[in-house]
Amino acid sequence: MEPILTLADLDNWSFEGTALAVLGHPIKHSISPAMHNTALAEMSETDERFASWRYFRFDVPAEDLPLALDRLNAAGFFGLNLTVPHKVLAFDRIAGIDDRAQPIGAVNTLRRTTAGWHGFNTDGYGLATAVQEDLGINLSNTPIILLGAGGAARGAAVECLQRGCASLHIANRTAANRDKLIAQLQPIKGDIPVNGFSPQEIPADLPTNALVINATSAGLKPEDPLPINLVALPKPCGVFDMIYNPAETKLLAATAAQGIPTANGLSMLIHQGVRALEIWSDATVPVAAMRRAVAAT
Ligand code: NDP
């Protein structure tokens, strides 16, 4: 297990290999170090340049992010992952943003360039790959019912639109947040229909065979309410819950009881990590090794 580092550990930084790290607050539950270091160990068996790569973790509160980005750059770090609360905060503080991350307004992967940090968002790739792998559903041409309007929902909405979903219906507890997200999607929606509804008032004209994606945090705690009453929806082709701990939320249990295919957010977590390591390494990343590392935590 990688120790939890803070910026003070950079005062006498002496690591000479290629350093990667995840920054977050809190950071103690992150399984990214185990996932990446296991993959790097396997990659080094066939390419010795990866023998000197190592992935660290830093506890960085929100207010220290600008300092952390400067200090990690100066210390020679090559790649960073960002998690809560830094994904949106970093967006306006880095030298460049990947075109596909631009409409998301958040970045989770940074690569060092001569100009400074260049930002990417690999969560959408993780979602699309997991939905394909676990449910056999391609986001292209599929009607989507998206629950939530926070950061993860925004990333999911952008990915669904960029991949040409058939339609996008967004439900969220707070109508103002839902409407704000729908307004933000206007410039990239093209001719794909994008509509909102309240989870308490399910409209009659929702599509059948839609993929339901839960991007709310309802389900993280046992006492959380269901984000939607599934029986009130036309039968979906599958339900994907971004939550992976617990492995089966109340929503997924209710879905499985109706015989509808389900998947939790574990494969999404793994594939966003795979894509990040591909961005840093320009090499093929062993997905199975990452999956093994996650299963062992
Ligand atoms: P945010 O805090 O940005 O958004 C939270 C969303 O959940 C809002 O839409 C909020 O609605 C809604 N919500 C919160 N509590 C409830 C409730 N009790 N009932 C109904 N809706 C509720 O969080 P994120 O978008 O960053 O994360 C959302 C979820 O996605 C988390 O569970 C996170 O763990 C997961 N996630 C998983 C990833 C993966 O790799 N598997 C990657 C990223 C996120 P409102 O607007 O009304 O407040």
Instruction: Give me ligand 1 centre to Cα 175, in Å.
Output: 15
Task: Answer yes or no: pTM beyond 0.75.
Answer: yes
Residue 111, beta-bridge partner list = 79, 118
- Reading the block at residue 222, the tokens are 């046992």
pLDDT of 297 higher than 90: no
| 28 annotated active-site | no
Apex CA 23: angle with CA 21 and CA 26, to 5°?
135
Domains located in the chain, CATH noted: 4-121+268-296 (3.40.50.10860), 124-264 (3.40.50.720)
Distance CA 19, CA 54 (A): 5
- Reading the block at residue 203, the tokens are 């409209």
Q: Which residues line ligand 1 (CB under 6 A)?
A: 123, 126, 148-153, 172-174, 177, 215-218, 220, 224-225, 227, 242-244, 265, 268-269, 272
* Catalytic-labelled residue, pool 87, 189, 235, 250: 87
pLDDT of 120 higher than 90: yes
Q: CB of 107 within 8 A of CB of 97? A: yes
| Sign of the four-CA dihedral 212, 189, 87, 266 | positive
Please give the pLDDT value at position 227: 97
Q: Are strands 116-120 and 109-113 parallel, antiparallel or unpaired?
A: antiparallel
pLDDT in tens, 150-204: 989 999 999 999 999 999 999 999 999 999 999 999 999 999 999 999 999 999 9
pLDDT in tens, 97-117: 999 999 999 999 999 999 999
Distance CA 274, CA 277 (A): 5
